[in-house]
Structure 1
């Protein structure tokens, strides 16, 4: 896929809007523009019904019920509502320990700091192995009846690691701890049809599954909702948990994207994407410098569109600079752009600063073609030869 001539390989930052999704959203920007909370007339009723249908599609994607879906502005807000929304319940229960994996999204790590500073929770970061899989022995050794909550993402946004959500759920649940899963990347990476059976709280993002930006959702188990406090106050919409007028068009788009992700098309897309990623890797292995792959070697435990590659002796920043404006890729999470330090995810899997700063994340998507990855490989080869010619890279 090219955007204005640029080969787009940054789908884990954001996905393009699916044309089917856009078509379903369009009427709600035009004649069906009603406020879904206007309960006194038919225009509002129709908008409300559209939002409810969208909630049903999202619930179906993860195996939940529609009334357990709370719309948010995105996964970051959903993560905040999940963890901060339960903070008072944690204080009341006297459980003061929160366990987070060491490769969680930056927003979850920041929420952990807030839980520590503002509420007095003890925040513990669980280790992962060299491929990014949570150390389940460490989780079992850490879990006890004073643990309030465990938070582990479904699929990592930088190295693509897919976690064993079912087993993590069993370990957390055995002690009575709540389990939160940041599943923003998961629908494009794995079968999430039963994730609501395993997690008490699940965060989702529309634009990570070819839906519109600016909309996300939190699945919160029905019996858990009365224990939660809102993080946004106002008119008391969505059972009082998230105030504000819902954007009907965005909700409709999110629902359409969820329906497609849950379909046979979504399943086959993941299979095709994994094959394309593997083809890309084989081509990169012929570059005039040594490379390595960050994350799982077992492709069953890896996001099918993720390829985090280290280029030995190459500065990722220099390489990406030479690839502009022909390839869109990244050095890590878009949510940490501008932070002048190596990725916490790459450090957690054991990379030193030099190897971490030599790593580039390429993330493929449903519109990426074999021609795209072949052309990208040639452009990367040219950039590396340029680095060699400039004396910035020595090939041993």
Structure 2
């Protein structure tokens, strides 16, 4: 009988593997969406969800709940003075045979790295910690680079759980800087502070070149988080740009994330990326999730006002050729966020949105336009009074109000 030859253990193993694979995909998407949180993302990420219920697995539970630790101790003690202790605790955690202990140690260190970056970026604490604690500045840099190298080594040699933990630790560190100008970053990952950046990048590049699809995704996300010291490395730039056109949609989405991070800092990289992402969104062979990920790159093309204008003008021209409603809504929201960076462009965008609203469009597109107008109004970038906008919008959506 056919049924008698069936190995139930293998079947159970396959089911478990599928669940873990699905969970890992979900976590990778979550890291990118949390790190890229923005106005445009609220429209786009809903369409990026690929369905399916979240499954409760050991992998997800161990990484979703980061150890809180004691926030007070991280604030009261100088991060520089605590670096040696953190390095020791990380090493103990990575060497532990207890399930989940290495991942937890990495996530705990990630919280410390976030505090450390804040401390380094603070004008008041840039000198004081070393004076108060008696730490020699050279030792601080030594400990910092030792920790970064250990994390890079864990990413290179660890399993998927450890790789995700390393990426999550650095994505959290980056997320606290999302409202700042990245080209002015003076935190832990600024290029002048990372002495051995080539060694760090080579370890991540090794994972990308020799790993599976998920490893490539994680490597690209990590490179995006390291954009401050990686953006001018020719090999890394080529790796990201070539991955944008990868036939693997998951890799292409991760490359979009990395390209957005690099474009915030590098003028020439942003100029190249501009043409690639609009071309990606125009191709019928590119899947919808990848097109929506490409749309999220547009607000990141802001390294200079020249790039902002170029990206905006290209986007307005591109709108006339969009046939997919999901892509149309994504581009409208991305252009709105991009225009909010420059007052003259914001005024142009308001007039453009109002004129677009008068076209024959679906209710979904109308609502998206109204939310774009509300976003600009709340930022104080809209020249029209709220009453005037309300009278316009009520013609199209009686349930929508400006506030």
Bin for the TM-score computed over the shorter chain: under 0.3
Specify which structure has the bigger relative contact order, considering alpha-carbon pairs within 8 angstroms and separated by 6 or more residues.
Answer: 1
Q: TM-score, normalised by structure 2?
A: 0.24
Structure having the larger proportion of residues in strand: 1
